[in-house]
Structure 1
Amino acid sequence: MKLDWRDLITWDWPLAGLLTIALLLDGAAASEVGHYDGRWELPGFLAVCALALLASRWPVVAGVGVVVVLLAGSVVLRLAGVTVPSAAGGLGAAEVAAVLAVIVAVVRRLSRSTAAGLVVLLLLSCLVVGVLRPEHPAAPQDLGWSGILPVVAVLAGWYLRTRDARHAREMRAVTVAAQLRERVALARELHDVVAHHIGGMVVQAQAAQAVAVPDPGAPARVLPVIERAGEGALSAMQRMVAMLQDVGGEPASPTTDLLADLRAATVTPAGATEVRLAVELAEPVPAAVATTVLRLVQESVTNARRYAVGAREITATVRSADGTVRVQVRDDGRHTDRPSRSGGGGYGLVGMRERVHLLGGRFEAGRVPGAGWQVLADVPLRAE
């Protein structure tokens, strides 16, 4: 897993501030010790603080690492006969804060059995530290804090664990709802397409019956037309698998002129970011696919105008080749992390992905090198 330093600074700054304060307290305590040499203590303190900052991402590594650093550092101090200022049980204030932070992360992120094992290992290492480090007899107040603080850390981690689980359930429910809305909308659009094909078949059949007597060859000419319309209807119906349940909502109008609709969807209002549209359609696009293409461009342009800070231009490209329509919408702005914490929540991307996947296509969305955001979709022109 790659470490995102920007995310680390954004979300872990309270812990970093707490550890910094603890280090300052250790420095103040050390200044009162005349023969104290910080070169013995500082590397270990900095190491456990760094591990505490990484614990939210790698709790197992951080937990085991803190144990190793504490025990190895205590052995070195014991052999060198160096006494260090202690906040509790032979541990410095920075070490106490780091151990508690790691306990919170372990309980929050790991399974119950793994978390229990690591917490016990951390507490046992703290007890061993109190024995190994020279001239640190346990005072009554040290014993009290040594028992209370780990319990507080475990309870804090458990609270965050339950809160995360509740938030995950809510996110899953909202995502499923967004997927269902897109499925229903797509089902209705495809239904309209199928109705168009079947309506044409009925008209052709009626016309053939009307002229069959004066023109015996008319049915032979009309039947291939009816056959093609039936094949189109069957192709569209195959895309409606698992979407037969009718769930309220307004039916969407099928796209009849994709180029005109794309131009209308990318018109630049006053003060909005300009959109450059390029359309190259080498073959006809079925109405069901055209509707999805239009929705992809509309949603992507809307997202770019909403989220692309400082964007100078948005490019929207629609090309068809080798039985596939490729939709690419890209901007050159700076984007906040998605999903956002207010408004939208990134569920427009969920809907676009759902539409493309239901049609058997491929969908990608994300940052591009340098700056900007890109939506890329390949939609097959015909059902597999």
Structure 2
Amino acid sequence: MPFSDRVTSAWRWLGLEGVLLVAAFVCDLAVVLPASVDLAGPRGRDLLLLPGMIVLGACALWARTRPAVAVFAGAATVFASTFLIRVTDAAAYTTLLSNVSLSETVAGLELVFFCVRRVRWAESLIGTGTLVLAGLFAAFQRTGSGSRSLGETLLLGMVLLVATVLAALHFRRGDAPRAESPMRDLVREQWPLIGGLSLPVFLELYQALDSDVRALPALACSLAAAATTVYATRRPLRAGLLLAGIIFVTSAALWVAPRQYLVGYGALPLTEVIAGIIIVVLLVRSVEPKRAWGAITLMSAAVAFTTLTNLASGRGRMNMADLRDAVIAAVLVLGIAVAAGLYLRARDSERRKVVEAAVADAQNSERMALARELHDLVAHHVTGIIVQAQAAKVIADQNPKVALEVIERIEAAGTEAMTAMRRLVGSMRAGADAVTDHATMDLDADLRRLVESGHHGVPVRADVRVPRDLPQEVARSALRLVQESLTNIGKHAAGATRACLLAEVRDGELHIRVADDGRQVAARPAGGSGGYGLVGMRERVELLHGRLAAGPAPDGGWVVEAWLPVEEEA
């Protein structure tokens, strides 16, 4: 399997819950790895926090299939990790809960979610309670570096637990019929984007939790920007205008936020920067250029305003001397986003053209196939009716009894024509794979029935030597070739007294030969001629990679010969 396919398969296997765990673990790595090489304590000691994070995350993924077992395994992992931290004197880090890492918090909430959603009530209550006790044990017994108080941990933990249980109860009713929800469909479709945006949100969450309550408005703006980005997959223009408003509001939120709140050296929160890039790509890709550039201009103005106010307040890590570099970086990022949007727009246009061309080709092929079928059926039956009607008109005065017999044959031919048309319409309604006119099941019988019907008005001597196991498409085309040839004899071969039909398989090919002893006339044939008979015959033969020859015979008359491959490669 190619590497790209493996990555795609692994990404789909992770799902939204797996992506959230990966994002939280990456954020924990951003804290643990630098701490493991600092001067506080033995080098590498803080890496002992990672096994508990990894195993608990694996338990959360396991809970998708075995939630009852996974929740107790997760609780045991938290207890074991806490003992390891106590014995080694490693320093646990505080995020939402005291002395509990972000990845452990996310994994614990997912364990509770799957347990409440899919396990029976008694087991769910016991499993959730065990996991909560393990979390409290970790918060109180680990040696942490955070300063979150006991009351804050209990309150925040209770809020997270209640929210998770309510969400699980909501999805527990999933077996019952529910009305379609656009929000639910959006989350189900865009879970990779939601998981990707969780990484910058978690990074800002770390930064906000290290600050005081004044950082919450800025964090709320980042969460709103992330939600707007997901909404942009449905309404990019509206989402672009909404993001511009969020960025304007962010300028006020950063004004009240603590100094050095921003992650890195940007003038905007990281989540809003990523949201702006994604929305610009979506605007250029799917919105009319005039409207797209209007929204991009408004977003750029909001970014410029927020950056200037942030630099003027001196609350970020940038100053006015860095303004030139910030402008260059912003223009470069905007250019990359626009280029990506143009590339995706061009690819979408090319894909649309390819699909339209494929649909047009399929429709054209279907029209040609239907045209051939209609021509073969109508020309054969109607020509026989016209020829016999002309004969009846000639002999009506001389021999009324014979004329009456001819009229009966005309009635029979008309009935057969109506039956054939009904079968064709029925096959069109049933699908392209249906067989019309009961043909191609036994070519020998079909050809002999065609010859005996005699609607073409000329006696035919048939020499048919074909096996019963011919490929259906070959037998069907052969029947239509003979039918069209006999119809042309009735229409064009003036004075023909006999016709000969040969059908045999030789050297891996089905050889069809139809000849008459008539003469060609310049007069208009009975029923007129659309000029499509020979064209349709050639199309049928070419589709099977065969050969067709049609023309006057050396001793008079007209000869049609076809060679159709009957091997598998045909």
Q: TM-score, normalization: structure 2?
A: 0.38
Amino acid at match of 2:339: L
Q: Which deviates further from its counterpart, 287-296 or 89-98? A: 287-296
1:286 is matched with which residue: 417, 422, 438? 422
Corresponding letter in the other structure for 1:51: T
1:22 match: 200
Tell me the residue number matched to 2:336: 152
Residue matched to 2:287: 110
Distance 1:225 1:184, change over 3 A: same
Per-residue CA distance 1:99-156 (angstroms, 9 max, x = gap): 1111110111112222222111111101111234442335365444323211111111
Q: Which residue of 1 aligns with 2:298?
A: 121
Deviates more, 1:290-299 or 1:44-53: 290-299
CA distance in 1, matches of 2:183, 2:400: 76
Aligned match for 1:74, one of 227, 251, 262: 251
8 Å CA contact 1:89, 1:126 repeated in 2: no
CA contact 1:104–1:157 (8 Å) conserved in 2? yes
Is the alpha carbon distance of 1:34 and 1:115 closer, same or farther for their aligned partners in structure 2, counting shifts above 3 Å? closer
State whether residues 90 and 130 of structure 1, in contact with CA within 8 Å, keep that contact through their aligned partners in structure 2.
Answer: yes
Output the amino acid matched with 2:194: A
Alpha-carbon distance in 2 for matches of 1:30, 1:70: 18
Letter paired with 1:24 = F
- Structure 1 segment 145-184 matched on structure 2, within 5 A: 145-184=329-368
Unaligned residue ranges in structure 1 (runs of 5+) = 236-254, 257-284, 300-384
Q: Percent identity?
A: 28
Give, as a single letter, the amino acid of the residue that structure 1 aligns with 2:428.
T
User: CA separation in 1, counterparts of 2:186 and 2:398?
Assistant: 79
Q: Is the 2:283–2:292 Cα contact (8 Å) retained in structure 1?
A: yes
Q: Within 2, Cα distance between the matches of 1:65 and 1:232?
A: 68
CA drift at 1:12 = 5.7
Distance in 1 (CA, whole Å) between partners of 2:433 and 2:231 is: 40
Counterpart of 2:376 (choices 189, 192, 198) is 192
Unmatched segments (≥5 aa) in structure 2: 1-180, 436-570
- Pairwise CA RMSD: 3.7
Q: CA deviation at 1:50?
A: 1.1
Q: What is the alpha-carbon distance in structure 2 between the residues aligned to residue 121 and residue 49 of structure 1?
A: 18
Q: Is the 8 A contact 2:211 2:258 kept in 1?
A: no
Quick check: 1:88–1:142 contact (8 Å CA) kept in 2? no
Q: Is the 8 A contact 2:225 2:275 kept in 1?
A: yes
In the TM superposition, what are the counterparts of 1:35-114 in structure 2 within 5 Å? Answer: 35=212, 37-78=214-255, 80=256, 83=259, 84-87=261-264, 89-114=266-291
Greater relative contact order: 1 or 2 (C-alpha under 8 angstroms, separation 6 or more)? 1
Q: Which residue of 2 aligns with 1:362?
A: none
**Cα pair distance change 1:16/1:298, threshold 3 Å:** farther
2:208–2:216 CA contact under 8 A, matched in 1: no
CA drift of 1:163 comes to 0.9
In terms of fraction of residues, the more helix-rich structure is 2
CA 1:222–1:298: 2 relative to 1, 3 Å: closer
TM-score (norm 1): 0.55
- 1:72 maps to a residue whose letter is V
The question of whether the paired residues in 1 share the 8 Å contact of 2:278 and 2:337 is answered with: yes
Against the structure 1 CA distance between its residues 121 and 194, is the aligned structure 2 distance closer, same or farther, given a 3 Å change threshold? same
Q: Secondary structure at the match of 1:39?
A: helix
Distance in 1 (CA, whole Å) between partners of 2:351 and 2:297 is 28
